[in-house]
Amino acid sequence: MIPLKRRKVSQTVNQPNQTCKFPHVSIFILERKMGSTRRAFLTRLGRSKGFLITDTYSSSITHVVSENNTGDDVQTWIDNQTGQESSSSVHLLGIIWFTESMEAGQPVPVEDRHILKEALELLAENAEYSDNEGRSVAFRRAASVLKALPYRVQTMDQLKCLPCLGEHSQRVIKEILEDGTSSEVESTRHSEQFQAMKALTGIFGVGVKTADRWFREGLRSPSDLICTGQQLNRAQQAGLQFYDDLNKHVTKAEADMISEIVKEAVSAVLPGAEIQLMGGFRRGKEVGHDVDFLITHPEEGREEGLMPKIINWLEGRNLLLYQKWTRNSYLEKLDGPARPANNMDRFERCFSIFKLDRPAEATGSEGVRSSDQSEASSWRAVRVDLVVSPYSQFAFATLGWTGSKLFERELRRWAGQEKRMSLSSHALYDSNQRCYVRVQSEEEIFAYLGLEFIPPCERNA
């Protein structure tokens, strides 16, 4: 590998740490592409809030914070400084983790969006913005393969015979291994279109096509929508109003708080109903972007008309900032094997934004704020999806709403190509037997597909 130029660590930050509140977190702020002045400012800020900020990189570092670098850039810099690979336990993080930790007054949980974008994932994201689903899936598959490897790739020979690594992905990987960075990735990451699409699609209720139209009209950020008086629907208005909150992580503790609220609501309007926390939290993640719930009742048919009752209960307690309810439109005889398996399911559901009270101790923290929301706000906005499933479809719905998206895509591809079965969040149809398969659990679905059961914690593909 061609080494990158080394930079001396600035001595302007060489000041003793003040009282350290979090000795288990040792932070190194990388000066590369940041500059000594900004690094010195961030170091003083962190130390003033009780964080352990070290001046030089060492094996004791737990968190490396960087700005305007990819994960590959930082990893290469570290390897060049130490002469060896860094521990896989070191978190390579973007500046957003640092600023959110300053705001919280303590180290926040590390989630996917804090981690410096890997090259292939960034290209996958950009392909999504270009509405090129095939290319996006190809990059995400390649990235998943690399993540699953028990070693860090150092030569192209290590990639031989591995699946899902197309020519484009291999070309990017080869450039990174040889030069320490990818010109395509760098130009994409810094492009005006990529940054604008990322900001605009971050608005709740805004998809790629709408964001692309706005970009072509000259809009680049949420603030541009306000300045130009853009016409927005109800969802987009709510998304703009609560933009900062909805683009912050949701912690497991917050998800648990919402779970208690949902359980109380459902129990009040339909005793005996079952409620399951879904999505990334069911897969064992500590943070997520929203909170999903799947609701059913053991007596088939008792779940019909449940959602409006739940909504009325929540609205009566001023817990909803926004909600959109859709009815169950699935009919097995019409929506079964003839409909593509990757179509969005058609359960009764409510897309909502909850008004979640903050714990008293969390409302008085000082920090870095990028919005004009009240600094002492006693609540925050959280995206919550409520889904009601008939009991006969509950196992399929559980599998579908657990995710991850890529895992579900691969599982349905396996069902179709290897087993001639059509799998959706509603049903499993066997084309060989020309009949629907009835199951009571996820385990039975895996068995019918000829696979060993894969627990939710192993589905973060």
387, 408: one domain: no
| Active-site residue flag, 72 | no
307, 384: one domain: yes
Mean pLDDT of the chain: 87
pTM beyond cutoff 0.75? yes
| Active-site residue flag, 244 | no
Flag whether pLDDT at 299 surpasses 60: yes
pLDDT grade for 84, boundaries at 50, 70 and 90: low
Q: 7-39: per-residue pLDDT in tens? A: 333 344 445 556 899 999 999 999 988 888 999
Q: Pick the residue with more confidence: 275 or 144? A: 275
CA separation for the pair 373, 391 (Å, rounded)? 42
The answer to whether residue 157 is domain-embedded is no
Q: State which of 350, 377, 397 marks the end of a domain.
A: 397
pLDDT grade for 116, boundaries at 50, 70 and 90: low
Asked if 449 contacts 411 with a C-beta cutoff of 8 angstroms, the reply is: yes
pLDDT grade for 454, boundaries at 50, 70 and 90: very high
Catalytic residue among 224, 244, 385, 430: 385
| Beta strand spans in 18-111 (E) | 26-29, 52-54, 63-66, 91-94
232, 254: one domain: no
Residue 83 DSSP code:
S
Q: 436-451: per-residue pLDDT in tens? A: 999 999 999 999 999 9
The answer to whether residue 221 is domain-embedded is yes
Q: State which of 225, 242, 259 marks the end of a domain.
A: 242
| Active-site residue flag, 292 | yes
Flag whether pLDDT at 273 surpasses 80: yes
Beta strand 428-430 pairing with 435-437: antiparallel
189, 237: one domain: yes
Catalytic residue among 55, 292, 372, 430: 292
pLDDT grade for 87, boundaries at 50, 70 and 90: low
Name the percent of the chain lying above pLDDT 70: 87
Show the CA angle centred on residue 360, arms to residues 355 and 363, nearest 5°. 75
Flag whether pLDDT at 88 surpasses 80: no
Number of domains in the chain: 4
Asked if 333 contacts 361 with a C-beta cutoff of 8 angstroms, the reply is: no
347, 372: one domain: yes
Q: Which of 81-90, 238-247, 248-257, 346-355 has the lowest mean pLDDT?
A: 81-90
Flag whether pLDDT at 126 surpasses 90: yes
Q: Which of 145-154, 158-167, 318-327 has the lowest mean pLDDT?
A: 145-154
Catalytic residue among 290, 335, 345, 357: 290
* pLDDT on residue 112: 60
Instruction: Report the CATH number at residue 31.
Output: 3.40.50.10190
Instruction: Report the CATH number at residue 412.
Output: 3.30.210.10
How many CB atoms are located within 10 Å of the residue 183 CB? 10
Q: What is the mean pLDDT of residues 133-137?
A: 93
Determine the structural domain holding residue 24 and report its residue range: 11-104
Flag whether pLDDT at 364 surpasses 60: no
Q: Which of 336-350, 357-371, 417-431 has the lowest mean pLDDT?
A: 357-371
Q: Which of 134-143, 190-199, 223-232, 364-373 has the lowest mean pLDDT?
A: 364-373
Residue 192 DSSP code:
H
Flag whether pLDDT at 426 surpasses 80: yes
Q: Pick the residue with more confidence: 331 or 173? A: 173
